[in-house]
Amino acid sequence: MNTFKNKRSFFLALITFVISVCSLHAQTKPTVYVLATGGTIAGKGASATGSSYHSGEVTVDDLISAVPSLSDIANIKAEQVTNIGSQDMNDQVWLKLSKRVNELLNQNDVNAIVITHGTDTQEETAYFLNLTVKSNKPVILVGSMRPSTAIGADGPRNIYNAVACAADPAAAGKGVMVVMDDRILGADDLTKTNTISVSTFQNPNYGPLGYMYNGKPIFTRTSLKRHTINSEFDIHNLSSLPRVEIVLSYSNATSLFVDAAVEAGAQGIISAGVDNGNLTTALENALNNAVQKGIAVIRSSRIMTGPTTQWDEIDDDKQGFSASWFNNPYRSRVLLMLALTKTKDYKEIQRMFTEY
Ligand code: ASP
């Protein structure tokens, strides 16, 4: 009888011990929110080997349950923000996402955010968040080039690495990042460089922020650009963003698309010029006409690397243009949309393009 009683107390004590160790472990693990927006990472294909598939069909809960080891590194909470191919990403989702990220990161019990996102416009969303999230806590975007049903799907490994990076204290204060193909990339220079490769994302001017190795981040640079808590932009009270269009340069380019943008009511135009932001005479004149009508014009370049510098073959002060420096046309568009919420002055906008 006594032995039975002792055994029972022993097992009770053991169970209590195991439960308290588990709950202590859960308390010490960081809490990472996974916000899902769709993309190929949530895509389903007709076959495991074919290339045809639909983006945004798998829910956030299914994405997470495909990587059971996530619970070893973090307490995972999940939310479905939207479920779209990122070719349809838009200002309304950006505003909703940025506000939700800020709201969550203001909570003491949230340590980091991972956002699953399509790769088509991932660089634009990452940069928008880089300039509008007001927190030092890690924010990491992750996507995949292969749908969840493909042989060698890259999504699960990318999600694991994104959460592992987000959960690591070393990831704080680095600005918004993308973790894919074992690399950590900064939103300050993010560019999709290949239509099908899993290593499509690069930081072509500055190099990657670091690497993921055995589930641990190894950082090799920090961003020298203003971002997150050092950004002057605040979307808190905004329900829409200024309209900014991009106009591409090529031989024989005429004023056609600049005139169309002006006619459509654009408040800003990004010129994706040739070489160092250079323009045909027709385009230069059309953009100067736009400036006369109060439209902000940024000279950027269709070339993937190198800066678009001020005062090269074009006299920016004479024309009232600002140069994009290291921002490509897509990041330039995001920055100009935010800049126009504060100013229309080309010199002030030029300052922003040198600082962000
Ligand atoms: N169209 C997809 C998307 O951006 C492509 C991808 O995720 O790779 O949502």
> From the CB of 40, is ligand 1 less than 6 Å away?
yes
> From the CB of 39, is ligand 1 less than 6 Å away?
yes
> From the CB of 87, is ligand 1 less than 6 Å away?
yes
> From the CB of 86, is ligand 1 less than 6 Å away?
yes
Q: Which of 159, 100, 154, 160 is nearest to 132 (CA)?
A: 100
Ligand 1 centroid from CA 35, angstroms: 16
40 is catalytic: yes
Ligand 1 centroid from CA 45, angstroms: 13
> From the CB of 120, is ligand 1 less than 6 Å away?
yes
Name 32's bridge partners.
Answer: 76, 112
Ligand 1 centroid from CA 355, angstroms: 30
- Ligand 1 closest atom vs CA 39: 9
E strands, the chain, in order: 31-38, 44-45, 53-54, 75-84, 112-116, 139-142, 177-180, 183-186, 191-192, 201-202, 210-213, 216-219, 244-248, 268-273, 296-301, 322-323
> From the CB of 277, is ligand 1 less than 6 Å away?
no
pLDDT in tens, 54-78: 888 899 999 999 999 999 999 999 9
> From the CB of 175, is ligand 1 less than 6 Å away?
no
Q: What is the pLDDT of residue 15?
A: 58
Q: What angle do CA 90, 228, 179 make, to 5 degrees?
A: 70
Q: What is the pLDDT of residue 51?
A: 75
* Distance in angstroms (rounded) separating the CA atoms of residues 187 and 167: 18
Catalytic residue among 37, 40, 132, 308: 40
Could you tell which of 86, 117, 122, 124 is best to mutate to test the pocket of ligand 1, judged by most ligand atoms within 8 Å of the CB? 86
Q: Dihedral sign for Cα 282, 353, 129, 303, please.
A: positive
Residue 96 burial (C-beta neighbours within 10 Å; 0-12, 13-18, 19+):
middle
Q: What is the pLDDT of residue 6?
A: 67
Name 80's bridge partners.
Answer: 36
The string over 67-78, giving b where at least 16 C-beta atoms fall within 10 Å of a residue's C-beta and e elsewhere, is beebeebbbbbb
> Structure tokens of 279?
């323009």
Ligand 1 centroid from CA 248, angstroms: 23
Q: What is the pLDDT of residue 311?
A: 86
Inter-helix orientation angle 329-339/346-355, to 10°:
130
pLDDT in tens, 143-156: 999 998 899 999 99
- For the chain of 356 residues, list the mean pLDDT of each consecutive stretch of 10: 60 57 65 97 82 84 95 97 97 98 98 98 98 98 94 96 98 98 98 98 98 98 98 98 98 98 98 98 98 98 97 94 98 98 98 98
Ligand 1: residue whose CA is nearest its atom 8: 119
Ligand 1: residue whose CA is nearest its atom 7: 118
Ligand 1 centroid from CA 335, angstroms: 23
Say if CB 291 and CB 315 are below 8 A apart.
Answer: no
> From the CB of 119, is ligand 1 less than 6 Å away?
yes
Could you tell which of 44, 87, 122 is best to mutate to test the pocket of ligand 1, judged by most ligand atoms within 8 Å of the CB? 87
Q: What is the pLDDT of residue 148?
A: 86
Ligand 1 centroid from CA 146, angstroms: 9
What is the bridge-based pairing of β-strands 191-192 and 139-142?
A: unpaired
Q: What is the pLDDT of residue 64?
A: 95
> From the CB of 147, is ligand 1 less than 6 Å away?
no
Q: What is the pLDDT of residue 13?
A: 61
Name 248's bridge partners.
Answer: 272
> In sequence order, what are the residues at sequence separation of 6 or more whose Cβ sits closer than 8 angstroms to the Cβ of residue 178?
122, 123, 126, 140, 141, 142, 143, 184, 185, 187, 190, 201
* Distance in angstroms (rounded) separating the CA atoms of residues 283 and 248: 10
Ligand 1 centroid from CA 264, angstroms: 28
Q: What is the pLDDT of residue 19?
A: 52
Main-chain dihedrals φ then ψ at residue 20, nearest 5 degrees: -70, -35
Torsion angle in degrees (nearest 10) through CA of 236, 238, 243, 244:
-10
Q: What is the pLDDT of residue 75?
A: 98
